[in-house]
């Protein structure tokens, strides 16, 4: 439930409210049909991805000033340009495609493609794996406008290809993959799930049976004498493992907010990392207006690196977003351009600062790269400080 110190959330418009009610009814039906209790991961799957209703599957504006949150590619084109330099290195080495997971508004694809075109290292295809039909349409409109002559190079796909050669990029995707919530309480492990209560949805814990989830909780946060709540994201690990197994040559790069395991499951982080984003307010109530807000959890990058290795890939590096972008050449990109255009240059500098500033996105956001068949240092890690996983 929202804590007294949490922000007051704006009231939605009547049509948005009605949409939320439809999704809430859909989730309530699922709870009744599935034994009156669903795991939190199931709730998150429905609330974000229920076809036609979930946050990412329906039409509300999510990205940018008028939406709920702002991501790095929306803040500055420098983000995609740095990735273009990185992609160019990989494409020159192994050829193949760019595959972007969760392309959001499409702005990253547009800025990256434009720069690759300028550099003469266009991929064979630009593949976009997008689970939301609505976002797909927005991406198609934007990319058709920006590249009317090259639109045939963009291909939207529903599932991962059987083999991937080239570069895979996912910015802020793992944090919206449904996670399990595990509660260590009164000296035992319980899984937090969702039930129907008088006032709507409510949390209820069930004892965790012996199995993979319990084993992970036991190793991540051993039994202790105070209550502790955290997330485990097997679905995100499965996604990483599959990409690692599918990548025949090239690099996959995942960017997200998160930590290595020892920080993720730090004893003091006893309330987990679940966050909800609604019109630029961040709060902790996942039951507020289902379908109108994003729900995210930070990423345990140690678990993701292990999953990549289980998929047979080599981990090439793990660093902060700031180090990665600077190592790709952010400073050179910012200082380039027409010196007489002072205003646009200042804007460029402040956007770039938001990407790398330690109290902005530079340190909380991390970059993990893994792959196969690259026998030279990866550009984004060449001069970066490697963090311990």
Ligand X SMILES: C[S@@+](CC[C@H](N)C(=O)[O-])C[C@H]1O[C@@H](n2cnc3c(N)ncnc32)[C@H](O)[C@@H]1O
Neighbours of 378 (CB within 10 A): 21
Nearest to 249 by CA among 125, 164, 161, 160: 164
Residue given tokens 């919206």 in the structure block: 176
Least separation in angstroms between CB 132 and ligand X: 4
Asked whether the beta carbons of 366 and 255 are under 8 A apart, the reply is yes
Is residue 123 a contact residue for ligand X (CB under 6 A)? no
Neighbours of 49 (CB within 10 A): 18
Cα-atom radius of gyration of the chain, to the nearest Å? 21
Nearer to ligand X, 24 or 239 (CB): 239
- Near ligand X in 174-233, by CB under 6 A: 176-177
Least separation in angstroms between CB 144 and ligand X: 18
Least separation in angstroms between CB 260 and ligand X: 22
Is residue 305 a contact residue for ligand X (CB under 6 A)? no
Asked whether the beta carbons of 65 and 94 are under 8 A apart, the reply is no
Least separation in angstroms between CB 99 and ligand X: 10
How far from the centroid of its chain's Cα atoms is residue 220's Cα?
22
Is residue 135 a contact residue for ligand X (CB under 6 A)? yes
Instruction: Convert residues 154-173 into a mask of x (bound to ligand X by CB under 6 A) and - (unbound).
Output: -----------------xxx
The CA-atom distances, in angstroms, between 312 and each of 64, 87, 298, 305 are 37, 21, 24, 11
Instruction: Compute the distance between CA of residue 157 and CA of residue 136 in angstroms, rounded to an integer.
Output: 10
Nearer to ligand X, 138 or 214 (CB): 138
- Residues paired with 300 in a beta bridge: 259
Instruction: Convert residues 69-108 into a mask of x (bound to ligand X by CB under 6 A) and - (unbound).
Output: --x-xx--------------------------xxxx---x
Least separation in angstroms between CB 162 and ligand X: 16
Least separation in angstroms between CB 257 and ligand X: 11
Residues that bind ligand X (CB under 6 A): 56, 63, 71, 73-74, 101-104, 108, 129, 131-132, 135, 171-173, 176-177, 239
């Amino acid at each position: 439930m929202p804590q007294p110190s949490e922000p007051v959330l704006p009231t939605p418009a009547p049509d948005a409210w009605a949409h939320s009610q439809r999704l809430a009814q859909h989730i309530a039906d699922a709870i009744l049909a599935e034994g009156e209790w669903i795991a939190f991961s199931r709730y998150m799957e429905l609330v974000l991805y229920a076809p036609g209703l979930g946050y990412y599957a329906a039409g509300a504006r999510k990205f940018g000033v008028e939406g709920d949150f702002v991501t790095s590619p929306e803040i500055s084109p420098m983000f995609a340009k740095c990735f273009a330099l990185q992609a160019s290195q990989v494409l020159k080495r192994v050829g193949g495609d760019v595959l972007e997971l969760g392309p959001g508004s499409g702005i990253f694809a547009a800025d990256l493609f434009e720069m690759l075109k300028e550099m003469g290292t266009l991929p064979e295809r630009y593949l976009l794996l997008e689970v939301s039909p609505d976002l797909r349409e927005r991406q198609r409109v934007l990319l058709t406008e920006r590249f009317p002559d090259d639109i045939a190079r963009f291909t939207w796909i529903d599932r991962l290809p059987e083999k991937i050669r080239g570069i895979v990029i996912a910015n802020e995707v793992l944090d919206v993959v449904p996670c399990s919530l595990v509660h260590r309480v009164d000296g035992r492990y319980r899984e937090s799930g969702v039930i129907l209560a008088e006032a709507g949805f409510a949390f209820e814990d069930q004892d965790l049976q012996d199995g993979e989830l319990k084993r992970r909780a036991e190793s991540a946060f051993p039994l202790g004498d105070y209550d502790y709540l955290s997330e485990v994201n097997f679905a995100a690990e499965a996604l990483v493992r599959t990409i690692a197994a599918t990548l025949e040559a090239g690099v996959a790069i995942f960017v997200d907010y998160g930590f290595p395991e020892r920080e993720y499951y730090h004893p003091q982080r006893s309330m987990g990392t679940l966050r909800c984003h609604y019109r630029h307010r961040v709060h902790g109530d996942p039951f507020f207006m289902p379908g109108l807000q994003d729900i995210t959890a930070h990423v345990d990058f140690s678990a993701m690196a292990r999953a990549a290795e289980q998929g047979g890939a080599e981990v090439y590096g793990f660093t902060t977003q700031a180090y990665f972008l600077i190592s790709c050449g952010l400073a050179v990109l910012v200082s380039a351009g027409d010196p007489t255009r002072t205003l646009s240059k200042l804007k460029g500098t402040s956007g770039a600062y938001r990407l790398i500033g330690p109290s902005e996105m530079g340190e909380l956001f991390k970059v993990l790269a893994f792959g196969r068949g690259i026998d030279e240092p990866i550009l984004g890690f060449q001069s970066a400080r490697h963090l311990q996983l």
